[in-house]
Structure formats: C-alpha cells, structure tokens
Structure 1
Amino acid sequence: MLFIKNGLIYTMNGEVIENGSILIKDGKIKEVGKDIIAPLDAKVIDVEGRMVTPGFIDAHCHLGMWEESIGFEGSDGNEMTDPVTPQLRAIDAINPMDISFREAYEGGVTTAITGPGSANVIGGTFAAIKTYGHRIDNMIIKEPVAMKIAFGENPKRVYHGQKKSPMTRMATASILRETLFKAKSYLEKKENAEEPSKMPEFDMKMEALIPVLKKEIPVKAHAHRADDIFTSLRIAKEFDIDITLDHCTEGHLIAEDLAKEGKGAIVGPSFGNRSKFELKNKTFETPKVLNEAGVKIAITTDAPVIPLQHLALCAGLAHKSGLDEIEALKAITINPAEIIGLDDRLGSIEPGKDADIVVFDGNPIKDIDSEAYMTIIDGNIVYNK
C-alpha cells in the first residue's frame, strides 16, 4: 500500500483538497480526503504541499509507432499500400522500449491512446495503453479502443503520389462509404446465416469493422478543415456509428454546429508551423472557443509531432489563449477519459479508479519550469525525481 499525504489534490471531479491524502491499494485508489489515517503497513510519502493530479491522458497520438532517432526501420505507423486497412492493429507495431515512453511518464503522461497515422482512408485500430512497461500485452487498458479513419489532405497526397484513388475528397468519402456498406452486408449475412454453409467467406477487413458497426468502438476521424469535419459527421450519421473528432483544427470556426452534434473534440497539435494548407487556421484559441460553446474537449500532442511529455505545455498554451485553468487540466485528464469511454478507470482521483497519479513541483499548466516530482502508474512508483 501507498499513502500520499500533505498534497494539494486536484481530483478532477470538481474538488481541490488542500493538505489531502490518498490511500492506494492493489493498484487502485482506495480513499481520498483530508482526514485519512495511514495504515501501519503502508509506505507513507509526504509530498509537502505539492500539486497532485491524475495521470495525464493523450487521447490521440502515435506513441511507439514512429520510434525516436531512427528512420524507416522504426517507422511503423502507415501502411501506404492500400487505402483500406482496418485489419491492422497498433499493438503489433508499438515498441514500448522506445525512449519516448520513459519521457512520457517522466512528464506526467500515464495513458496514451495510440495507433496508425492518417495516410489511409481507414488505417486500423488504436489501443489505450499505460506508458510504463516493456511488453505491450501487459500495458493494454483497452484494445481495440477506436478505428482510425482519415479525411483531407493526407490520403489524397499519399495516393496521388501512387496515381491511384483516392486523389480527391470525393473519393475518400466514397471509399469509406463503400467499405462500410460492404461491412454492413457482411455482418448481416453472418447474423442471418442459419447454418455454417451459409456463412460468408471470411474477410479480415470486414471482421475488423464489425465492432464499429455494433458501436463497440468509435471511428477516430482525422479531420482538420471544417468541411472535412462535417463530412466525417455526415458519414457517421449515415451508418449510425460513433465518432470522435480528432485534430478539429478549424473547430473554432464551427463551434456552435459542433456543440449541437454532441461529439467530443480532441484538439491539436496546435504547436509548430502550419505545414500544410488545411492548418492555415490553426490556433491555441480553438480549445477555448469550443469549450465555451459547450463542446467537450481534449488536447493532444499528436506525438511524435509534439513529444508526449509536452502535453501539459500544450494545455498551458491553451490556457494562455483564454481557456480556463481547470478546463485546461480537464482537457488532459477527465475529458479524454470520458471521450474515449474509459472514465470508469481513468481521469480523476476517486476511489476504485486506477492509481495513476502525478505529483508536480509546481503547476504544470501555469509554470513553464514545473516538472513531475513523482509518477505513479497502477499503484507503482515508476518515476521519482
């Protein structure tokens, strides 16, 4: 057991506890409050008034898919040979021994939703993983957690270079629709087959899409520009599937529309240059505008675009651009947990949840020199400054 005392605890359930304590047992949070007595057999950690938060969560990144300090040999995020690859699974490419994992949890990021890039119309499945470990099988929180789809410039650019479809936004949408129609027909044949001989011939791509059609996982829609965001929502409605809006770069231009849709927006990466036309309206004000319109927001680094350990910096820059401080913290804790459907385990410091906790020397949203003092994942101290 671990017992953390004298912390300024941001529970992210609406309560900030001064001189608070947290009791951790068997990898879970057992108690949180001011007047908790440490069990005799608990390891007591006095954090001396430091800020304590839930472990940070990046709801959209590619951690372990593009390895650090290496080129082609460690580039495993895009299978650029077929625009439709739903059968691909991130866990078969993630290298948890890459240095980016250690830097992530040393920066306070304890959970990453990671998966394929946006070269393909359908790229494959994302996984929700803890950032500490050496074997991916033992780091999984949920897999699959989402199916990656992509709109806009990336699929167009990749397949224009190969002189094959899709070369236009029309073709991207058409390919996605056609594949979903095929998957729907495949599922109906499976469900209506009265005997094995009537079953459709096995199709791995179609099998991978069944959880999407059954709303067991959402599609994770890479869409920067407003028109691409609307196209992704249009297709999700046509097939009655769940969706998250990832990047949502022009979300501030259509905030009222998105608020009516009721879907979560995973915003970013907002740091860096405008490397392509669809990023021309990129701004750190987007989270503020969306939040004030009533859209639930999460902030992403899109790592390795921005290294994952700088997630708090991205939230801090959104705060500097007008996003409320608590809302900025929520955007990297409880909000991404809710958007990805794992808030029963992650995102806040509450009894029964995973003991993923970070102690900071300062306020990581407001203080540029603030660093993680201690990181705890599943009740284990994985980093201590």
Structure 2
Amino acid sequence: MQAIVNGTVHTVTERGTVERGTVVFEAGGASSPRRGDDAGGEIIAVGPADEVEVPDDAEVFDAEGSHVTPGLVEAHSHAGMAEWGEPEDGDFNEVSDPVTPHVNALDGFHPRDEELRKAFRGGVTTVSARMGSANVVGGIICSMKTYGTVADEMLIREDGMKAAFGENPKRFHGDEKDRQPSTRPGVAATLRQALMDAEDYVERREHAREEGDPFERDLGMENLARVVEGDLPLRVHAHRADDIATVFRIADEFGIEDLSIEHATEGHVVAEEFVERDVPAVVGPSISSASKYELRNITFETPGILHEAGVKVAIQTDAPVLPQEHLDVCVGLAVREGLPEEVALRTVTRNPAEILGIEDRVGTLEPGTDADLVVWDGPMFELASDARQVFVEGQRVYDSDRDDVDPREDYAW
C-alpha cells in the first residue's frame, strides 16, 4: 500500500478538487498494465484527510503544496511507433497501398522508444498509439501505457481504425506513387469503396455461416467489418472544414456513429456539426506554422471554441511532431487562448479516456481505476509547473529528485 497525502487532489470526477486530500493506492506487479481483479495497481481510496484512513504499513508521500492529478492521457500519438522522430526508421506508415486495414499498431509498438520515456517523465501515462496519415485507411490503433517492457502488457485496448483525409494521403499516393488518391474526391471515394467492400464482406460471411458453406477470411475486411458493424470506432485525420464535412457525410451514408475527428484544425468553423452528431474532437498539434495549405487557420483558440459549443474536446501533441512531454504546455496555451481553466485538465485526462473507451481504467482518480498519478509542483497547465513524481499502476516510475527510480534504466534505452 502507498499513499499521497496533503496535496491538492484533482479527481476529475463529480467530486471535483479536494484540498489537502489523500489518495491511497496499491502497487501493481513488475510490468504494466493490471491483469485481473487481484493484480494490484489500482486506487483504493480518495478524499479529504479526515475521511480516508491511511494503512499503518503504507509508504507515504507528502505532497504538501503540490497538485495531484490523474496520469495524462493523449488520444492521438505516434509515441512508440516513430522511433523518436525518425520517420524513415519508424513503423507507422505501411505505404504499400492506400488501404491497409489489416495492420495493427501493437505489432509495431516499441516499448523502449525514447518518446515513451519522455512521456511518463512528463506525466503522460497513456497514449493512443497509431499509424500515420499516409493512407486513407491506416489500420487498427491501440491505447497503450507509456511505461513497460512488453507491448502486450502495456496494451489497454484496441481503440479504433485509423483513417486520413486531406493532403497527406494525396501526397503519399498521388504525388509519390502516381495512383489514387491524388485528389480530395479520390480520398473520399477510396474510403467509400473500402467501407462498401466491408459491407459486402459481412453479407457474404453471414450468408456462408447461415448456409454452412466454407468462407475464406480476409484480415483487412475482418477489421473493417468491425467498423461498419459498430464494434470499432473510426478515427479520422482531418484538418480542413470541408474535409471534416466529408467525413461526416460518409459516416452518415454508412451509419457510422462511433467516430472522432483528429487534429480538427478548422473544427471551430463547423462546431455545430460536431454538436449535432455528438462527435468528439482531438485537437492539435497547434504549435506549428502553416507548413501546408490545410493548416492556414491553425490556432489555439480552437479547443475553447469547440468546448463552448458543447463538443467533447481532447488536446494532442501528435508526438513526435511535438515532444510527448509537452502535452501540458499545449493545454496551457489553449487556456491562454480561451479554454476555461476549470476544464483544462479534463482535455488531457477524462475526455480523451472517454473518447478512447478506457475511462474505466484511466483519466480520473477514483477507487478501482488504475493508480496512474502525477504530483506537480504547480497547476498542471502552467508553464512553470513540472511533474515531480509519476506513478504508473502504483509503481513510482519517475521522481525528479532521484535518478534511480526507473528500474529499466540499464535496459537498453
């Protein structure tokens, strides 16, 4: 048993913030994440000091003057996939074809990617790791813990199918490969055809099962079938407002209700469309020049505008586009440009956890959730604040005052 005491505890639940609060939690095993009800690594109790009893044998951390939050969650990252910003060596774009639903991020996730180490040291304990945006359909993406040694043990769940609109798939396939898609209509047509193929596949599969006939399975179609049947969310890279509108149009055509818009650079222009469909936006990275035409309206005002309109908003770095450990900085800049302070923490904890479907594990501080906690020396979103201690499933994986906390320091970083 362990306990953090005397801190300002931000539960990110209906309970709100607890002054001089206490969090009691149990350390998990040597690897991550928790497996089974008796594996440890979860929060036992949260509340004011006079309501929470600290076990006599607990290791106690005094957080006097500090802020305690859930471990940060990023809903769109390439950490673990991009080999610390080396795209030529990374495993996040299978560019052999514009439609690659058969690939899975878990198979390319590298637990000792330096970006992951920087992540948990910066308070980011969970990321949705995924393929890049070269392909119209990129493959299955996965919610992963940032601390661990074996990818399978860091996996929380498969959280979606990656898709991409706009200039990236046009450039990769139209300009470089001289094949469809080379235009925005070509991108849309490619996705439509892939979804139609999946619907036809499901129909043939069901007919074969009913008749007892043999059926040759196809890995990519099996994965896309999960999308058209509503079992796997569609996560779509889209910057421009017209691309976002096209995504919504296609989703309506195929009855896809479980989706998110990733980047959403011009999401503020069509905020009412997000609200009408109850679609969340994963916004960012917004520290950028307009390196391509579709980014010309990039602004840190977008999260605040979308939030005020009633959209569920998460903030992302798109690491390694921006370093994963600067997720808190992105939140601070969004606050400066209008995002209310009282919802700032939620955009990198509870909101992304709910978008990814992992809110039962991460994103809040409440009994039964993973003991992923960060002790900050100031409010999380303030530039001067720093993560002082980080726990992943009850294991203290970083302490800014020590250099011997991470037990993997000698394991080939």
Q: TM-score scaled by structure 1?
A: 0.96
Give, in angstroms, the shift of residue 196 of structure 1: 7.6
Secondary structure in 2 matching 1:82: coil
**2:85 and 2:321 in contact (8 A); partners too:** no
Q: CA deviation at 1:214?
A: 2.3
Indicate the residue corresponding to 1:6 in structure 2.
Answer: 6
| Counterpart residue identity of residue 233, structure 1 | F
**Aligned counterpart for 1:154 among listed residues 161, 168, 180:** 168
Q: Which residue of 2 aligns with 1:313?
A: 329
How much does 1:114 deviate? 0.8
Q: Deviations over 1:259-300 (max 9, x none)?
A: 212111000010121110000000000001000000010000
Partner of residue 285, structure 2: 269
Q: Which amino acid aligns with 1:350?
A: E
SS in 2 for 1:198: coil
Deviations 1:314-361 (A, max 9, x none): 000000001111211110011111111111111111111111110001
Give the Å deviation of 1:200. Answer: 3.4
Distance of aligned partners of 1:117 and 1:277 in 2 relative to their CA distance in 1, 3 Å threshold: same
* 1:97-136 to 2 correspondences below 5 Å: 97-136=112-151
- Check whether the contact 1:86–1:208 (CA below 8 A) recurs between aligned residues: yes
Q: What is the distance in 1 between the residues matched to 2:138 and 2:209?
A: 33
- Taking the aligned partners of 1:48 and 1:297, their CA distance within structure 2 comes to 31
Q: Secondary structure at the match of 1:331?
A: helix
CA distance in 2, matches of 1:316, 1:39: 36
Deviation of the 1:150 alpha carbon: 0.6
Q: Tell me what 2:153 maps to.
A: 138
Distance (Å, rounded) in 1 between the aligned partners of 2:85 and 2:12: 36
Q: Tell me the secondary structure at the aligned position of residue 52 of structure 1.
A: strand
1:185 and 2:200 aligned: yes
Out of 207, 215, 224, the position equivalent to 2:230 is: 215
| Deviation per residue, 1:23-52 (Å, 9 max, x gap) | 112211111011212111211111113100
- Partners in 2 of 1:175 and 1:272 — Cα distance? 29
Q: Which residue is equivalent to 1:334? A: 350
Q: How many residues align?
A: 382
Distance 1:69 1:216, change over 3 A: closer
Tell me which amino acid in the other structure corresponds to 1:6.
N
CA contact (8 A) 2:345 2:380 kept: no
Shift of the 256–93 alpha-carbon distance from structure 1 to 2, 3 Å rule, reads same
Do structure 1's residue 28 and structure 2's residue 29 form an aligned pair? Answer: no
- Residue 52 (structure 1) aligned with residue 68 (structure 2): yes
Indicate if the aligned counterparts of 2:123 and 2:374 stay in contact, CA closer than 8 A.
yes
Shift of the 215–360 alpha-carbon distance from structure 1 to 2, 3 Å rule, reads same
Please give the per-residue CA displacement for 1:150-188, whole angstroms capped at 9, x wherever unaligned.
111111111122111111111111111111111111112
Contact 2:77 2:130 in 1 (8 A): yes
Q: Once the 2 structures are TM-superposed, how far is the Cα of residue 364 of structure 1 from its aligned partner? A: 2.4
* Residues 85 and 320, structure 2, Cα contact 8 Å, conserved in 1: no
**C-alpha deviation, 1:92, in angstroms:** 1.0
Q: Which residue of 2 aligns with 1:381?
A: 396
What is the CA-CA distance between 1:216 and the residue it aligns to? 1.7
Asked if 2 retains the 8 angstrom alpha-carbon contact of 1:189 and 1:199, the reply is no
Q: Which stretch shifts more, 40-49 or 188-197?
A: 188-197
CA contact (8 A) 1:233 1:243 kept: no
Aligned letter for 1:337?
A: A
Structure 2 vs 1, CA of residues 123 and 194 (structure 1 numbering), >3 Å: closer, same or farther?
closer
* Superposed counterparts of 1:65-80, under 5 Å: 65-68=81-84, 70=86, 72=88, 74-80=89-95
Q: What is the rounded CA distance, in whole Å, between the counterparts of 1:197 and 1:20 in structure 2?
A: 61
C-alpha distance in 2 between matches for 1:265 and 1:71: 25
Q: Which residue number in structure 1 is paired with residue 178 of structure 2?
A: 163
In the TM superposition, residue 194 of structure 1 has moved relative to its aligned partner by 4.0
CA distances 1:77-125 after superposition (whole Å, capped 9, x unpaired): 1111200000111111111111111110010000000110010010001
Equivalents in 1 of 2:70, 2:79: separation in Å? 20
C-alpha change, 1:12 and 1:277, in structure 2 (3 Å) is same
The letter of the residue matching 1:154 is N
Could you tell me how far 1:199 is from its partner in structure 2? 3.9
Superposition TM-score, scaled by structure 2 size: 0.90
Structure 1 residues 69 and 352: CA distance shift in structure 2, 3 A: closer
Structure 1 gaps of 5+ residues are: none
Q: Secondary structure at the match of 1:222?
A: strand
Kept in 1: contact 2:9–2:17 (CA 8 A): yes
Identical residues among aligned pairs (%) = 47
1:197-227, CA deviations, whole angstroms, 9 ceiling, x for partnerless residues?
A: 6243221210111221221221100000001
Counterparts of 1:262 and 1:147 in 2: how far apart (Å)?
19
